[in-house]
Structure 1
Amino acid sequence: MNFRMIKYILGWILVFETLFLLIPLITAAVYGESCITAILLSIAVCLAVGGLLILKKPKNTELYSREGFVIVSMSWIVLSIFGALPFFFSGAIPNFIDALFETVSGFTTTGASILSEVESMPKAMLMWRSFTHWVGGMGVLVFIMAFIPLSGGQNIHIMKAESPGPSVSKLVPRVKTTALILYSIYFVLTLTEFVLLLFGGMSVFEALNTALATAGTGGFGIKNDSLGGYSPYIQIVVTVFMVMFAINFSSYYFIISGKLKEAFNKEVRVFLTIVLSAIAIITFNVRGLFDSIGEALRHVSFTVASIISTTGFSTVDFDVWPELSRTIIVLLMLVGGCAGSTGGGIKVTRIIILVKGLAKELEVMIHPKQLKKISVDSKPIEHEVVRSVNSYMVCYVLLFMASAALISIDGHDLITNFTAVSAAVNNIGPGLELVGPTQNFSFFSPISKLVLIFDMLAGRLELFPMLLLFSRATWKK
Structure 2
Amino acid sequence: MIHFKEIGKIMGALLVLIAIMMLPGIGFSIHFEEDPWPILSSAVITLIIGTTLFFSFSKQDQNIRKREGYLIVTLSWIFMAGFGMLPFILSHEIISFSDALFETTSGITTTGASILNDIEAMPKGLLFWRSMLQWIGGLGIIVLTVAIFPLLGIGGIELFVAESPGPTSDKVHPRISETAKRLWYVYVGLTFAATILYWVGGMTFYDAINHALTTLATGGFSTKNASMAHFDSAFIQYTAIVFMFLAGTNFTVIYFGLVGQFRKVLKSDEFKAYACVVLGITVVLFFPIYAQIGTDAELAFRNSMFQVVSLITTTGFVSDDYTQYGQGVTFICFILLFVGASAGSTAGGIKFVRHLTFFKNSYLEFKRLVHPRAIVPLMINGDRVTGRIITHIMNFLLLYLLIFVFGAFVLSIMGYDLPTSLGAVATCLGNVGPAIGDVGPVDNFSFFSPGAKIFLSFIMLLGRLELFTILILFTPFFWRAN
- Is 2:287 the partner of 1:284? yes
Instruction: State the partner residue of 1:419.
Output: 423
Distance 1:153 1:354, change over 3 A: farther
Q: Is it true that 1:366 corresponds to 2:370 in the alignment?
A: yes
Partner in structure 1 of residue 480 of structure 2: 476
User: In 1, Cα distance between the equivalents of 2:479 and 2:275?
Assistant: 42
| CA offsets 1:421-477 (integer angstroms, 9 cap, x no match) | 111010000111200111111111122111111111111111111112212222223
Aligned to 2:142: 141
What is the match of residue 454 of structure 1?
458
- How far the C-alpha of 1:135 sits from its partner, in A, is 0.7
SS at match of 2:408: helix
- Once the two structures are superposed, the pairs formed by residues 143-292 of structure 1 within 5 Å of their partners are 143-149=144-150, 155-230=156-231, 231-264=233-266, 265-291=268-294, 292=296
Q: Is the 8 A contact 1:193 1:241 kept in 2?
A: yes
Answer yes or no: is the 8 Å Cα contact 1:345–1:425 preserved in 2.
yes
The structure-2 alpha-carbon separation of the partners of 1:357 and 1:153, relative to structure 1 and needing over 3 Å to count, comes to farther
- What is the CA distance between 1:85 and its match in structure 2? 0.6
1:396 is matched with: 400
In the alignment, does 2:112 pair up with 1:108? no
After superposition, the C-alpha distances for 1:317-372 in whole angstroms (9 at most, x for unaligned) are 11222222112111211111100111111100100101111122222222221212
Using the alignment, how far apart are the partners of 2:170 and 2:423 within structure 1? 33
Letter in structure 1 aligned against 2:53: L
- State the AA in 1 paired with 2:282: I
Q: What displacement does 1:289 show?
A: 2.0
| Counterpart secondary structure, 1:412 | coil
Q: Which residue of 2 aligns with 1:53?
A: 53
Partner AA of 1:51 in structure 2: T
Partners of 1:413 and 1:58 in 2: CA distance: 54
Shift of 1:408: 1.3
Deviates more, 1:94-103 or 1:380-389: 380-389
Paired residue for 1:405, among 409, 420, 424? 409
Q: Which moved more, 1:48-57 or 1:150-159?
A: 150-159
State the distance in 2 between where 1:298 and 1:356 align. Answer: 31
Aligned equivalents of 1:153 and 1:44: distance in 2? 24
The secondary structure found in structure 2 opposite 1:344 is: coil
Match runs of 1:265-414 below 5 Å: 265-291=268-294, 292-414=296-418
Letter in 1 for 2:198: L
In the TM superposition, residue 256 of structure 1 has moved relative to its aligned partner by 2.6
SS at match of 2:337: helix
Question: Aligned partners of 2:285, 2:186: CA distance in 1, in Å?
Answer: 32
TM-score, length of structure 1 as denominator length = 0.97
Q: Is 1:62–1:150's contact at 8 Å kept on the other side of the alignment?
A: no
| Paired-residue identity, % | 37
Residue 166 of structure 1, CA deviation: 1.5
Unaligned 5+ segments in structure 1 are: none
In structure 1, what is the Cα distance between the partners aligned to 2:79 and 2:152?
A: 24
SS of 1:312's partner is: coil
Q: Secondary structure at the match of 1:340?
A: coil
Deviations 1:170-196 (A, max 9, x none): 321111111110000011111111111
Q: CA deviation at 1:243?
A: 0.8
CA RMSD, aligned part only?
A: 1.5
Tell me the SS of whatever aligns to 1:148. helix
C-alpha distance in 1, partners of 2:255/2:122?
38
- Give the distance between the partners of 2:386 and 2:252, measured in 1 at CA: 20
Deviation readout 1:23-71 (Å, 9 max, x if unpaired):
211111221212x111122112211221221123243140111111111
SS of equivalent residue, structure 2 residue 110: coil
Stretch moving more, 311-320 or 375-384: 375-384
Task: Count the aligned residue pairs.
Answer: 476
Structure 2 distance, partners of 1:50, 1:20, is 13
User: Secondary structure of the residue that 2:120 maps to in structure 1?
Assistant: coil
Amino acid at match of 1:174: R
Specify the code of the residue in structure 2 equivalent to 1:142. Answer: V
Equivalent-residue separation in structure 2 for 1:315 and 1:258 (angstroms): 34
Deviations 1:284-326 (A, max 9, x none): 1121221411111111111111111110011111122222211
Partner SS, residue 310 of structure 1: coil
TM-score normalised by the chain length of structure 2: 0.96
Q: 1:149 to 1:126 in 2, by over 3 A?
A: same
Asked whether the equivalents of residues 62 and 151 of structure 1 are also in contact (C-alpha less than 8 Å), the reply is no
